[in-house]
Amino acid sequence: MSKTRLIINKNGSIKIEGDFEIMDQDGVVYGLEGRTALGLCRCGLSSNKPFCDGSHRNNFECESKAFDLPPMKTK
């Protein structure tokens, strides 16, 4: 399987592809039924959070462009 990729979609979800698992805050793993790609909600409108159900359409505007983070601080 290829490395995990997260794609920040314009006005939409975060698409995750590759070999991954998703856990809740208690460490319980979501049953993804073999999926190797899916969308994660970032608009807060999905009724299936944390997964995208398309509710963002025409209700969410956020365009992200890639940039370089500053170097990590040393301790």
Q: What pLDDT digit, counting tens, does each position of 57-66 carry?
A: 988 999 999 9
At CA 57, angle to CA 47 and CA 15, rounded to 5?
A: 75
Q: What is the structure's pLDDT at 59?
A: 87
Residue pair 46/53 in contact (Cβ under 8 Å)? The answer is yes
> Could you give the number of structural domains in the chain?
1
pLDDT tens digits for range 27-74: 999 999 999 999 999 999 999 999 999 999 988 999 999 999 999 999
66, part of any domain: no
14, part of any domain: yes
75, part of any domain: no
Residue pair 53/60 in contact (Cβ under 8 Å)? The answer is no
- Residue 45 CA to residue 49 CA, distance in Å, equals 8
65, part of any domain: no
22, part of any domain: yes
53, part of any domain: yes
At CA 40, angle to CA 63 and CA 62, rounded to 5?
A: 15
73, part of any domain: no
For the chain, give the mean pLDDT: 94
- Say if pTM beats, i.e. exceeds, 0.75: yes
The range of the structural domain enclosing residue 6 comes to 1-59
